[in-house]
Structure formats: structure tokens, C-alpha cells
Structure 1
Amino acid sequence: MKNLLYIFAFALISCASSQINKFDNSDLVGTWNWTNTDGGFGNHIHKTPESLGKKVQLTLEKNYQFSIFEDSKETFKGTYTLTMKKAIYSNKEERFIQLSGDQQISGIILSGIIRLTKPNILEISDNNYDGLGSMFSRVE
């Protein structure tokens, strides 16, 4: 009986962990240039490649691998996960991206609610009230 309980518990854990990254990422796959970050209390934060003095590129691959380049030099590489979280602005479940190692670049949001606002414009929002959102344009 105890063995049966262990098998059942293992099956539950396996099923739960297999749900991570089962979300379609085909629309996100590609290379994205960071264009701006805006938001904050009273929408007072406005960052661009010019204001930060750096160009940032995010590459998302179909196999849930990512890489980040700053000024054409690879600075981070790893995996990303997609899960569903309730977005504070839409009040709906939306895709949430999390990079391995919780990679951060000052002034740029890389983990949060992720959506395409137009076919070639990607937005990542930190999902906080008075929070920040970063925009990326697809490299053609």
C-alpha cells in the first residue's frame, strides 16, 4: 500500500512539472531588440537604448533556451519557463516568462507577463501596480 502511495505521489508531481512550458511559444520565438522601458509611480520612468547607452537583444528559442546580448556581446544564456499568472491590468490569466537565474539588466524588464501587442512588438510587464514594462521589436 505504501508503494502505491509513492507511485501516486510521483505521478502527481510528474504531471504538475510537465505542465510548465506546455504553453505555445511559437509567436515569441526569435530575436528581439529592446526599444524602451516605461512606467513607475506616475509613469515617471522612461529608458531607451540611448538613455542607458546600451543596445540589448533578447533571443527566445523554440526549445525554451534564451540568450541576451548587450552591445553585441553575449552576457546571459539559459532557459526560460512559461506559466500562466493573473495579470493585474487585464485581470485574466496570461503567459508569464521567467528566465533561469532570474537574469536582470538595470532598466529592462526580462521576466513578467509577456504578450505581443502587435505582430512584431513584444511587451514584458513586471505585473506590479505602478510597475514597469519593457518593449522589444522583432529583428527582421
Structure 2
Amino acid sequence: MRLLQQLFLLFLPLALAACIPAQPYPGGVLLNQPLNPPQVRAPKVGQQWVYNVRNVFNQEIVDVVTETVVSVGPQVVIARQGVKTGRLPDEIQQPWGYILQDPHWNPPQKFLQPMPLWPEQLVSGWSGFYRNRYQVVGYPDNDYY
């Protein structure tokens, strides 16, 4: 009897997983690439974005993060502030559109050469590969791939 219970508990997840249907690939209409790719406008001091940070399991709002452009020049500095977490590490781009310090990692990363934030060529089929090293902010003696 005990063996039967163990086998049942072993195969129950497999039976339940087999009941989950595969999701079809979403259909859509293919569009041609525009003749003139859209240009991304440069940020301005005071420009803000507000994000709701959610728990991935139950979608509960964990924090509200506000990102504000505080400096535009050779470096674009975006200050980050959370309602619950307070001041967060800054995002630094140098030049604009190329990330130098990425605060979305814990701990934040500082790249040795700036990395593009979006494709350098907004054309269909373009791809690129970037090999770069980074440092952990606060520990400049070591760098990593």
C-alpha cells in the first residue's frame, strides 16, 4: 500500500503537467519596415518615468520607482527613487543611449566601455554582438565579462 502511495505521488505531477495544453503562436499581420526608421528623441532635464514594481507571483505592487533625468551633457544621469526603498543607484549613460552604469543589477554594474541600450541600426534583420567587461560599483579593483 505504501509503495502504491509513493508511485501515485510520483506520477501525479506528470499527469497534471500533461493536462496543460500548448499555447498557439500568436497570429498577426506582417508589416514592412518603414522607409525612414523613427528617431528616438534625446532626454531633457526633469523628464520622469514612474514604474510599479510588482511581485511576480501574485502581482502585488511592491514599490513605485520614479526615474528622473537630472543631468544632460556628455553624460546623461537618471536619478532613481523608490517610495519604499528610498534612493536607488543612478543610471548613467555616456553618450546618451549607451549605458555606462546599469543600476538594474544588484549590485549595480559599471561597464568599461559604454553599451548600446537599443539596436544601433533600426532595420529589419540587423544584429550585433558586443564584448565588454564590467565592474561592480564600489569594487573597482576587479572586472568581469
TM bucket, shorter chain:
under 0.3
Which of 1 and 2 has higher RCO (CA within 8 Å, sep 6+)? Answer: 1
Structure whose residues are more often strand by fraction? 1
TM value normalised by structure 1:
0.26
